[in-house]
Amino acid sequence: MGITVQVIDPNDKKNLEAFLHLPWKIYSTNGKKDPNWVPPFLDDQRSLLNLKKNPFWEHARGKLFGAYNNQNELVGRISASVDDNFNNFWNEKVGFFGWFESVNDPSVANALFLEAEKFLKSEGMTSVRGPASFTSNDDYFGFLLDGFDSPPRIAMTYNPPYYIELAEKSGYQKAKDLYAWYLSAEIETPERIIKIAERTLKRERITLRPLNMKRLFEDAVILKELYNKIWEKNWGFVPMTEAEFNYQVKKLKDIVWPDFVVFAEVDGKAIGFNLVIPDVNQLLIKMNGELFSWGAPFALLTFLFGLGKINDTREMAMGVLPEYRKKGLEAILYLEALKTGKKRKVKGGELSWTLEDNEGINNGITAMGGKIIKKYRIYEKKIS
C-alpha cells in the first residue's frame, strides 16, 4: 500500500472532520460497530483542537497528520505536540504523539510515527512519548493494553489490540503502565479500614463537604491548587494553568454529581479531595458522537433523560497533601464515596488511572477490595 502523509490544517473544516471521523472506520467491520467502542463527543474534540478555545495552545504547539492510501482514502492519523510547560517543569525535551488511529498495517503506522518524529525533532525534542492527547491531564492517555472485553469509562482509552504491535514495530518501548481498578458498591469494607478512618476523623479534626455548585469556580480554584500540589512529583504530571483548569471545569459541570466531589478539610482549610463523576460513556455508546445527528436523531434526548439513570462511576482523581498522607485520609475519602454510591444506587466505580509503581495508592485500593480490570501503556522512543 502506497502511503502519503499530509498535514491536516485544523482550520480546514473538511479535512478536520475527516480526521475526527476516522475512528468510525477503524472500529467498524462490515458495517458492524465494535460493541466496546464508545464514539467520542465530537464537539469536545473540536474544541481541543481549536487554537483559540483550548488554553493548552497558549504554551504548546503541534501538528496533525493524516495518512492516505493510493485511492486517497484516510487510513490513519496522529498528532505531534510540544508542551513548553511540561518540558520546563521536568527540564526535559520530550514531545508527544496522540490522537493515533490506524488500520492494521505497519507501513501506515510507521509513516505516521516518522512524520510526527520529524516534526518533534525539528522542534528540538530528543524523545517522543505517547499516546497523549495532549497531556496526562487530558482524556485518552495511553494505549489500552489489557481489558478489551468491556467498554472504557468516561475519558479512558479504547483501541484495537494491534495498536501495541504497531507502536513496538515502529521502535517504541514501554515507558510506564497505568492501572484501572474496579470497586463494587456492594463490597464488604474491611473493619480495619473503617476503624482507621474513624480514628483519623477524630484525631486530625477532619470534616467533609461536597462541591458547592453555587460557587463552582471558587471551589475549582481550591481543586486546582490541591491538584497541582498533590501530583507535582508524579511521573508524567504537568501543572495545570488556571485557564486550563477552568476549561476542564466547564466540560464537566453539566454532568458532575456534586455529592460525589468531596473536599476533606481541617479547620476550614482543604487538605484533600475526591473527584468522582458518573460514567457518561453509558450514554455516549448509544450516540453517534453528536447531540444532533442523522445517525442518532434522538441523541440529545438519550443524553438528557439518561443522566439520572447512570449506574456506574469513575474516580478521576483522589489525593491529600503530602503532609497529611499515611494517616488514613484516603480511607475516609474512599468510604465516603462508597456511602454516596450506595445512596445513589450505583453498582460501583472505576478508579483510574494509577501508576503501576505508585505502591501507596495501589496498596490502599487493594486493601479496600479493588481489583485491576484494565491496563494501559505509555510508550517512548529516543529521536536524537
What burial class does residue 38 get, using C-beta atoms within 10 Å of its C-beta: 0-12 exposed, 13-18 middle, 19+ buried?
Answer: buried
Position 308 scores a pLDDT of 80
Position 205 scores a pLDDT of 86
**Per-residue pLDDT averaged across 142-162, rounded?**
97
Cell of 203: 484525631
| The residue to which cell 470497586 is assigned | 183
Model pLDDT for residues 326-380, shown as the tens digit of each residue: 888 888 898 899 889 989 999 999 999 999 999 989 998 998 899 999 999 999 9
Query: Which carries the bigger pLDDT value, residue 296 or residue 10?
Result: 10
Measured between alpha carbons, how far is residue 195 from residues 190, 192, 331, 341, 363 in Å?
9, 5, 10, 20, 17
Position 298 scores a pLDDT of 55
Contact present, 76 and 50 (Cβ < 8 Å): no
Whether the per-residue pLDDT at 294 is higher than 80: the answer is no
CA distance 201 to 208: 9
CA distance 380 to 100: 14
Cell of 258: 456534586
Measured between alpha carbons, how far is residue 114 from residues 12, 159, 203 in Å?
23, 21, 57
Which range, of 6-10, 191-195, 336-340, 341-345, averages the lowest pLDDT? 191-195
Q: What is the pTM of this model?
A: 0.94
Domains 4-177 and 183-376 share a fold: yes
Pick from 262, 265, 273, 260: nearest CA to 229? 273
Whether the per-residue pLDDT at 188 is higher than 90: the answer is no
* Domain 183-376 of CATH type 1.10.3720.10: no
283 Cβ neighbours under 8 A, 6+ residues apart: 302, 303, 306, 307, 310
Confidence bin at 296 (pLDDT 50/70/90)? low
Position 234 scores a pLDDT of 94
Whether the per-residue pLDDT at 304 is higher than 90: the answer is no
**Per-residue pLDDT averaged across 201-207, rounded?**
84
Position 13 scores a pLDDT of 95
Confidence bin at 381 (pLDDT 50/70/90)? very high
- Give the chain's mean pLDDT: 93
Q: Name residue 91's amino acid.
A: N
**Regarding the domain with residue range 4-177, which homologous superfamily does it belong to in the CATH classification?**
Gcn5-related N-acetyltransferase (GNAT) (3.40.630.30)
Structural domain boundaries in the chain: 4-177, 183-376
Which range, of 11-20, 134-143, 246-255, averages the lowest pLDDT? 246-255
Reading phi first (left if > 0) and then psi (alpha if -120 to 50, else beta), residue 204 is in: alpha
